Amino acid sequence: MSKLCFVATIPAVMHSFLRKHIRASAEKWLVKIVSNPADADLLSELNAEFIPLAIERKASPWRDLLVLLQLIILFRRERFDLVHSIMPKTGFLSMLAGRVAGVPIRIHTFTGQVWANKSGWKRRALKVFDRLIVLFATHILVDSPSQRDFLVSEGVLPPGKGIVIGHGSICGVDPDRFYPDERTRLTVRHELGIAQNATVLLFLGRLNRDKGMLDLASAFAEISQYRPDAILLLVGAEEDVPFTQIQEICGVYRDRLRRVSFTPNPERYMTTADIFCLPSYREGFGQVIVEAAACGVPTIASRIYGITDAVDDGKTGLLFPAGDTVALTNTLLWLIENQALRREMGTAARARALALFASENITRDMIGLYEKALAHS
């Protein structure tokens, strides 16, 4: 029986993006998971052995070198047939360790580039690591066609090497989990003290600058002057933008903010929203967009690679130039004031999400890729 290994820095990422792939793989092969031990309980029901390894998200040369050595030893001992990694640093360490240890199939998935909106030496240095991942891997997956094109244009990915599963997305969207749910909508609004006739703008993700949080806060402060029914719901962990800073930007309208930390049930808040908003500066695909879409919620997002695959501009949502706060404000106001258009776009968004990004199809194609690679090896 073939042996597979999945590697990610934190269990939450595996839980969000690889859970179905791991479960389906475990029905056919022997599967093991390598990740940081924190929150390992998220992966307890995947029928795969968990191997704790203290991988950290931030760069730490000596600790990263230790992790590299531990991965090499692990891969040699276990003699895996296939290793699949996600997240940038984990990908570099896993693909290098896999090559040194002689793992025949080494797969990495790109889900966005941390250097995409940087410049100077930082951009050049980070691009080198992505080029090395491509060099060390036998297969490169990319979670959107436009991201693949971007990587080719930047000289990171050779033409023809990047594989996109289906129409994009690393895991797709589960229609049994993400769907319009009026009962949950009413319940969550009651829990958060939101009026049933309020217009809820939802952001779900990490609170950081690259996600456009400061732009969204400024736009909402402006919108609140004209739309007293507007509520901004922020769901996600704080990073380099603390919630207190968002409150300061919103000033006298801070009472219209609602805050929820990390949640394992994003669908509860998506079905509560009227508009999903992702003013990001970089995205590999925008998984949350198609999840919101499956809940019948249209999206307003920045026009960048990755997101352009998740939103059919003018039909399932509206796009604006990244970093243009005025355009973001005006686009949000337009959709807030056009309830019929929101409903029309929400219906179209759900139909597109289920037609192009159904999770069962993505998992089926991923397992097919594993089977083909194992057969050839």
Structure tokens at 343: 């409903």
Contact of 22 with 14, CB cutoff 8 Å: yes
Q: Are 109 and 147 in contact (CB under 8 A)?
A: no
Average pLDDT over residues 116-136: 94
Instruction: Extract the tokens encoding 225.
Output: 């002057």
In one letter, which amino acid is 99?
R
pLDDT band at residue 42 using 50, 70 and 90 as cut-offs? confident
**Which CATH entry fits the domain spanning 3-172+359-376: 3.40.50.300, 3.30.70.580, 3.40.50.2000, 3.30.1360.120?**
3.40.50.2000
Q: What is the per-residue pLDDT across 303-349, written as a single tens digit (0 to 9) for each? A: 999 999 999 999 999 999 999 999 999 999 999 999 999 999 999 99
pTM, two decimal places: 0.93
For residue 92, how many C-alpha atoms fall within 13 Å in the half-sphere facing its CB? Answer: 16
Phi/psi of residue 34, each to 5°?
A: -120, 125
Domain with CATH 3.40.50.2000 in the chain: 3-172+359-376, 182-356
Q: Does domain 182-356 have CATH number 3.40.50.1860?
A: no
Average confidence score pLDDT of the chain: 95
**Using one digit for the tens of pLDDT, what is the confidence trace for 160-217?**
889 999 999 999 999 999 999 999 999 999 999 999 999 999 999 999 999 999 999 9
CB 158 within 8 A of CB 152: yes
How does residue 50 score in pLDDT terms, banded at 50, 70 and 90? very high
For residues 107 and 134, the answer to whether their CB atoms sit within 8 Å is: no
* Predicted confidence band of residue 270 (pLDDT cuts 50, 70, 90): very high
What tokens appear for 270 in the block? 């998506």
Rounded to an integer, the average pLDDT of 233-259 is 96
pLDDT at residue number 12: 87
